[in-house]
Amino acid sequence: MSQRASKVSVRQLSQVDAQHLAAIVADRSPEAIAWLRAAARQGVPRAQAILGQRLLSGEGTARDEGEALHWFALAAQADDLDAINMMGRCCELGWGRARDAQMAVYWYRLAAARGLDWGMYNLANLMMNGDGVAADRAAALALYRCAAALGHAKSVNVLGRFHEEGWELDADPEQAFALYRQAALGGDFRGQFNYARMLLQRGLMEQALAWLRRIPDAATPAFMRNVRGWLSQSGHAAVRALADEAAWQEAAA
């Protein structure tokens, strides 16, 4: 980035054209944070929401859940959909405040009602578990379907689980297989695992191994640890060998 500064003035901000500002917002460097802070302080909701995300992830700045919540709250008041959903995440996971599943449901309902796929998915997850709301698997299924129709890969993967397990509908392994494939292609690491698992059941070893090798690129350490245990107990030597590959050892650490 050409402008390197710890602070950005209102004058500097006003002189940046829309294309340059979009490039700054997409950046994750410490210099970009200065521009995001300047825009956030001037009341730009998108900048506030993105700054909150950076503060949660620690990208380009120190992680600060409390400050992230502050910016999400301001952006949510200005009707930024992503910020509304992130208010739900903060309530659900106790980021920057005490955990409150009922308030998480409130925020997710707002985001879902406005058509945000992540709001639908997050609300459905709470409904599945009866967390902050009465358990309602049928209502959760409807939400997952709506989010999946918008291309939400994680919701597509959960739909696959519904079809595989026969939750709220007749079990359909072939439909589950197709949905897992769709989720895997969409980049969801759980979908990649489920698709690989079903490929193994069909004896398609090389395809399964190829998908399993993609998982460390995006999966959480907790998921990696669980799947690594599954790999190590596989009846296939080639699958067991994956557990000892460097990518799996590092990602599961």
pLDDT of residue 6: 62
15 vs 210, residue with greater confidence: 210
Q: Is the pTM of this model over 0.85?
A: yes
Q: Find tokens 């397990």 and name the residue.
A: 165
Confidence tier at 155 by pLDDT (50, 70, 90): very high
End-to-end CA distance of the chain: 33
pLDDT of residue 16: 63
Q: Find tokens 């599945």 and name the residue.
A: 128
Confidence tier at 15 by pLDDT (50, 70, 90): low
pLDDT above 60 for 61:
yes
Measure the CA–CA gap between 51 and 138, rounded to whole angstroms: 36
Q: pLDDT tens-digit profile of 165-184?
A: 999 999 999 999 999 999 99
pLDDT of residue 23: 76
Report the 10 Å Cβ neighbour count for 225: 14
pLDDT of residue 35: 87
CA 76 to chain centroid: 19
pLDDT above 90 for 22:
no
Report the 10 Å Cβ neighbour count for 95: 19
Whole-number mean pLDDT of the chain? Answer: 92
pLDDT average, residue stretch 59-76: 96
pLDDT of residue 1: 38
Measure the CA–CA gap between 232 and 220, rounded to whole angstroms: 18
pLDDT average, residue stretch 181-205: 98
Reduced to 3 states (helix: H, G, I; strand: E, B; else coil), residue 215 is helix
Confidence tier at 5 by pLDDT (50, 70, 90): very low
pLDDT above 70 for 63:
yes
How large is the C-alpha radius of gyration of the chain?
Answer: 21
CA 177 to chain centroid: 22
CB contact set of 54 (below 8 Å; sequence gap of 6+): 28, 33, 36, 60, 61
Measure the CA–CA gap between 40 and 221, rounded to whole angstroms: 32
pLDDT above 70 for 7:
yes
Give me the DSSP letters along 18-87.
HHHHHHHHH--SHHHHHHHHHHHHTT-HHHHHHHHHHHHHTSSS---HHHHHHHHHHHHHTT-HHHHHHH
pLDDT of residue 76: 98
Q: pLDDT tens-digit profile of 108-127?
A: 999 999 999 999 999 999 99
Measure the CA–CA gap between 32 and 136, rounded to whole angstroms: 43
CA atoms within 13 A on the CB side of 241: 4
pLDDT average, residue stretch 195-202: 97
pLDDT above 80 for 223:
yes
